[in-house]
Structure 1
Amino acid sequence: MVQAFDVVFRAQRLIGPNGETSGSVGVRDGRIAAVEPLDSELPAGRVVELAADEVLLPGLVDTHVHVNDPGRTEWEGFDTATRAAAAGGVTTIVDMPLNSLPPTVDVDALEVKRKTAREKAFVDVGFWGGAIPGKLDELRGLHQAGVFGFKCFLLHSGVDEFPPLDSTELESALRELAGFDAMMIVHAEDSEAIEQAPTPHGEHYGDFLASRPKGAENVAIAQVIELARRTGARVHILHLASSDALPLIASAREDGVQVTVETCPHYLSFTAEEIPDGATQFKCCPPIREAANRELLWKALAEGTIDCVVSDHSPCTPELKQFDTGDFGVAWGGVSSLQLGLSAIWTQARQRGYSLSDVVTWMARKPAEVAGLRSKGSIAVGNDADLCVFAPDDAFVVDVAELQHRNPVSAYHGRPLAGVVRGTWLRGTQIAGDDAESAAPQGKLLVRGEV
């Protein structure tokens, strides 16, 4: 006798590992137990029939989220961030080690972070460790405790408790990480190049853009690549904004350097030319650049030079955005977009002839691969039953008052976007949408090597 599934999804359109198809997905004990043709008879306690205008996607994986909890919970928190993730079809996030207090730079701090998140997570949550001066002897212990890799800065991070590594310290850290095959993820902007650039001030976005030139990214990325080549360590370039660095990255890969790269929805959606004076909700570092630069990022994403798209959700309180003065020089840098990434990218991708399969590759499969989340990111037997029902031809206008993250600030406010998330499932339990099964947090805290 065939054992019944807990739930079966029947979809005329389904994005699987090999592209778009139709199919039935059977879930048992939180995992995908069967992927069969649409007309297969799969007995189940519950059947979810997708409408003709809906597509079944794997839950998205966002490996660049600043939750800021504990310590700066007024900026964001695990409850609000993970609710926003679920509403946007994201079923797994990996939390950044800074902006929380204490920063995640030793095992004790990691345990504080886990204790804070444990009862608040509506989606699955993993953690990055931090690499800062004076704490490099903590890297192995954090790795053994299950962080997914380590983040460092090459210039001031914006918070004093997470200082940058200089070149010698970065090389030492990479040699240490190479010894146990851990990955360093790098905010790659060169401090000296930025010190030599004009000082940011005032409400004109062009002045802020000039203060964070492409050259600062290019020099830093070249340094990271050279040290990765020298040490044999794995490195990942965060939030790439400069298209000038793409040939260098492609060449390094051809030489066998282990380097992966991400970019973010805001770099693929907005352009410097359209940002109004005083609109500090668009401020982020590195900055949103010009239209021609944006198109080269899209081309690199399609060609695979850029591996994935993740949010870099970096919220703050409205006061820190300095809306009263509109001064880009003093406003906090960060774009709040965790709930909106799928629709934002789909809006731009479809205009350029890319498919939903492409978007799933960039926002689910590849982030999972980069972080080593082996049971996430695709609709495949044995994977966690993390799923998203998406209506690609529906549309909405972003209203910050309706978003789930803590503070009503987003660069996307008032922007029409294509594609609506109608439901999100975490390990077979619906956590967002009209028929969500539970109001209680369902997320697990993830440990590297166990996912």
Structure 2
Amino acid sequence: MSTDDLVLRSTRVVTPEGTRPASVAVTGGTITAVRPYGAPPPPGATVTDLGDDALLPGLVDTHVHVNDPGRTAWEGFGTATRAAAAGGVTTLLDMPLNSIPPTTTVSHLRVKRDVARPSVHVDVGFWGGAVPGNADDLRPLHEAGVFGFKAFLSPSGVEEFPALGPGDLETVAARVAELDGLLIVHAEDPAHLERAPQRGGPRYADFLASRPRAAENEAIGRLVEISRRLGTRVHVLHLSSSGALPLIAGAKAEGLPVTAETCPHFLTLTAEEVPDGATEFKCCPPIREAANQDALWAALADGTIDCVVSDHSPCTADLKVPDFAAAWGGISSLQLGLPAVWTAARRRGHTLGDVARWMSAGPAALAGLHRKGALAPGRDADFAVLAPEAAFTVDPGALHHRNHVTAYAGRTLHGVVRSTWLRGRRIAHHGALAEPAGLLLERQRSA
């Protein structure tokens, strides 16, 4: 379908100003106008009437582990971006670890881009990595267009991407501040993890005890102090602990450049319902109790948490052994994030506008993707078409990511993604995927 002179019309168009009947006009892959529903289309325009299906901005997922190259058996750019397109995600940012080589130098970034370029179904950008000894690589990576720098404060789980000790963290934070860059951090304090009881076996309660809230709280407190002292822009990844919320809220009230995300699994799954031995639920930090989840939802509602992203971290099925200590930690949810979050959000009285703000506008703002994240003139014509009231039961075999392991297997979710559009081109429609049409993105330079 041509990207020129296209109009999408729906009784529920989710715009920054609210949800209303409207027509969205597209020329050359860019939104040119949002008009009343009954406005006559331009002469010769192709009109697609979506009826009561909701038209949302395409989701922006800034936390995806594609693992390609090097661990392509776990995931790959082709399969990951197919899953993204099927789930209404039109832009994703790839994490720098779990691939071999990791994205810690410009030459490694070049390798990853070369692998990704021919196979991406959605737009893809890249985070750089900050590891011990690569401080001098940060500026070249920044100039090469990475969106920021990922660091771990505790072991990452792969030897190619070691954690930053206190001295390395200071050095990296200072370098990132000099660049006016963004430091994104897996925030768990290693000392707290070492002191926590470490028991192997199938009991989820034992695994939960091994990753206490205090580990997150301590690490996040350290990051807030660094941001205050050095001026570094800091983003807290996959926030799980409600105990850290006052620290983040206080940093925001103080005017510090500190942001935070959480993930669909923390908002929709609870520790109380995880069966023993069900390591498809294992992630780090862990899924916590229902009361903790309630606090995360309240923090989303009041703006303490800025966005919701998948932390899609897949692996081969054999790595999900029934011992929580030994199993790979990561949840595959790239294709399911929108319906999972919407299912829980609607039950709690939130709107599609809230979901679009958390899963599209918020991540786009975090990454500085100024053409993404909203249905507004001048933005890319990236759309997710959702049937909000329709329900489906998750069949792992119907998912597009490479290994059909998911914590959502057998769950009934509300919100069926009917189609996904990238710059005015329909790239997914009722489960069928078009040929790859994504672009590789670079960080947008300041004027």
TM-score range, shorter chain: over 0.9
In structure 2, how many angstroms separate the alpha carbons of the residues matched to 1:369 and 1:184?
15
In structure 2, how many angstroms separate the alpha carbons of the residues matched to 1:372 and 1:167?
28
Tell me by how many angstroms 1:200 deviates: 3.6
Give, as a single letter, the amino acid of the residue that structure 1 aligns with 2:82: R
Tell me by how many angstroms 1:5 deviates: 4.7
Asked if the contact 2:19–2:353 (Cα under 8 Å) also holds between the matched residues in 1, the reply is yes
Is 1:448 equivalent to 2:447 in the alignment?
Answer: no
In structure 2, how many angstroms separate the alpha carbons of the residues matched to 1:376 and 1:450?
15
Match of 2:239 in 1: 240
Match of 2:36 in 1: 37
After TM superposition, the structure 1 = structure 2 runs for residues 85-96 of structure 1, keeping only pairs within 5 Å, are 85-96=84-95
SS of the residue aligned with 1:193?
Answer: helix
In structure 2, how many angstroms separate the alpha carbons of the residues matched to 1:83 and 1:142?
27
Asked if the contact 1:235–1:258 (Cα under 8 Å) also holds between the matched residues in 2, the reply is yes
Is 1:430 equivalent to 2:426 in the alignment?
Answer: yes
Moved over 2 A (4+): none
Greater shift, 289-298 or 29-38, is seen at 29-38
Tell me by how many angstroms 1:450 deviates: 6.5
SS of the residue aligned with 1:42?
Answer: coil
SS of the residue aligned with 2:119?
Answer: coil
After TM superposition, the structure 1 = structure 2 runs for residues 248-287 of structure 1, keeping only pairs within 5 Å, are 248-287=247-286
SS of the residue aligned with 2:428?
Answer: strand
Match of 2:153 in 1: 154
In structure 2, how many angstroms separate the alpha carbons of the residues matched to 1:235 and 1:184?
5
Match of 2:49 in 1: 49
SS of the residue aligned with 1:117?
Answer: helix
In structure 1, how many angstroms separate the alpha carbons of the residues matched to 2:89 and 2:214?
33
In structure 2, how many angstroms separate the alpha carbons of the residues matched to 1:20 and 1:51?
14
String of CA shifts for 1:47-92, please: whole Å, max 9, x gaps.
110122x000000000000000000000000000000000000000
Asked if the contact 1:30–1:384 (Cα under 8 Å) also holds between the matched residues in 2, the reply is yes
Asked if the contact 1:152–1:165 (Cα under 8 Å) also holds between the matched residues in 2, the reply is yes
String of CA shifts for 1:171-229, please: whole Å, max 9, x gaps.
11111111120000000000010001111410000000000000000000001111111
Asked if the contact 1:17–1:379 (Cα under 8 Å) also holds between the matched residues in 2, the reply is yes
Match of 2:109 in 1: 110
SS of the residue aligned with 1:118?
Answer: helix
Equivalent of 2:381 in 381, 385, 389:
385
Is 1:341 equivalent to 2:359 in the alignment?
Answer: no
Greater shift, 79-88 or 171-180, is seen at 171-180
When normalised by structure 1's length, the TM-score is: 0.97
Root mean square deviation, CA, Å: 1.2
Equivalent of 1:439 in 421, 434, 438:
434
Tell me by how many angstroms 1:434 deviates: 3.7
Is 1:301 equivalent to 2:300 in the alignment?
Answer: yes
Match of 2:128 in 1: 129
Asked if the contact 1:423–1:433 (Cα under 8 Å) also holds between the matched residues in 2, the reply is yes
After TM superposition, the structure 1 = structure 2 runs for residues 78-227 of structure 1, keeping only pairs within 5 Å, are 78-227=77-226
Is 1:404 equivalent to 2:400 in the alignment?
Answer: yes
Give, as a single letter, the amino acid of the residue that structure 1 aligns with 2:179: F
Aligned residue pairs: how many?
A: 443
In structure 2, how many angstroms separate the alpha carbons of the residues matched to 1:87 and 1:406?
13
Is 1:350 equivalent to 2:346 in the alignment?
Answer: yes
Match of 1:371 in 2: 367
Asked if the contact 2:58–2:382 (Cα under 8 Å) also holds between the matched residues in 1, the reply is yes
In structure 2, how many angstroms separate the alpha carbons of the residues matched to 1:5 and 1:11?
19
Give, as a single letter, the amino acid of the residue that structure 1 aligns with 2:48: V
The percentage of counterpart residues that share the same residue type is 61
In structure 2, how many angstroms separate the alpha carbons of the residues matched to 1:435 and 1:275?
29
SS of the residue aligned with 2:5?
Answer: strand
Is 1:395 equivalent to 2:391 in the alignment?
Answer: yes
SS of the residue aligned with 2:118?
Answer: coil
String of CA shifts for 1:16-35, please: whole Å, max 9, x gaps.
01111111111111111111
Is 1:317 equivalent to 2:313 in the alignment?
Answer: no
Asked if the contact 1:84–1:338 (Cα under 8 Å) also holds between the matched residues in 2, the reply is yes
Asked if the contact 1:5–1:26 (Cα under 8 Å) also holds between the matched residues in 2, the reply is no
Name structure 2 gaps, 5 residues minimum: none
Match of 1:328 in 2: 324
In structure 1, how many angstroms separate the alpha carbons of the residues matched to 2:235 and 2:255?
14
Give, as a single letter, the amino acid of the residue that structure 1 aligns with 2:424: G
Give, as a single letter, the amino acid of the residue that structure 1 aligns with 2:436: P
